Chains A and B, each alone.
Chain A
Amino acid sequence: AQSVTQPDIHITVSEGASLELRCNYSYGATPYLFWYVQSPGQGLQLLLKYFSGDTLVQGIKGFEAEFKRSQSSFNLRKPSVHWSDAAEYFCAVAPSGYSTLTFGKGTMLLVSP
């Protein structure tokens, strides 16, 4: 079965600094890959997804992620973090388009002034 690992439980970044959140997956083939953000009291919002093609995908709110097959990774990046980015971020995978999602444990992003 597929699994998702987010090694960092929480990360603190200064406002304006760059951000990288790590995600590794365990699956034989290339799965469908997703990043979601969850703010307190709100549902999960899809930031971006990767199915195939260009390994660098752009998402909403200035986020991007890069798929690296050799490392089984799908790390999320943002060049300049804003205080409003403070939230919990989840990486998720699905083996195919008709599969359900498997989530990582999440990374809590804290943004310091």
Chain B
Amino acid sequence: GAVVSQHPSWVICKSGTSVKIECRSLDFQATTMFWYRQFPKQSLMLMATSNEGSKATYEQGVEKDKFLINHASLTLSTLTVTSAHPEDSSFYICSASNSGVNYEQYFGPGTRLTVT
């Protein structure tokens, strides 16, 4: 149980284009979803927290207009990287929680984004 999937697992896009990453909770309803960014040899950095039907809460320093997060249902959240640039290349990981306590998170396998 408590499986989270991400799609795509990897994506290459050209600079200036937008790319959407999906995060789905497969066997539970996720009241809260989280988006992280992971650089090589670095820790996971929380980008934003989203609750179903509400606007996402972004961490300091994360551009909300660049990283659009939508949590339209209890099983799906999307992260759209708009006008992507090479510096946006990274590993993006989502997680989901259904317990109301934020530390109980189930993580997706991640999406590798490369912007050329």
Contacts and interface: CB of A to CB of B under 8 A. Distances in A.
Interface residues on B, range: 20 to 34
A103 B109 contact: no
A39 to B, nearest CB: 9
A71 interface: no
Nearest to A43: B107
B68 interface: no
Contacts, number: 54
Contact of A43 (B41, B42, B93, B102): B93
Interface stretch (A14-22, A62-70, A76-84, A93-101): A93-101
A90 B110 CA distance: 15
B9 A101 contact: no
Contact of B43 (A97, A99, A100, A106): A106
Contact of A99 (B42, B95, B102): B102
B34 interface: yes
Given A32-B103, A97-B103, A98-B102, A42 B42 contact: no
Interface of A: 4, 9, 32, 34, 36, 41-45, 49, 90, 94, 97-106
Interface of B: 4, 9, 34, 41-44, 46, 49, 93, 95, 101-103, 105-110
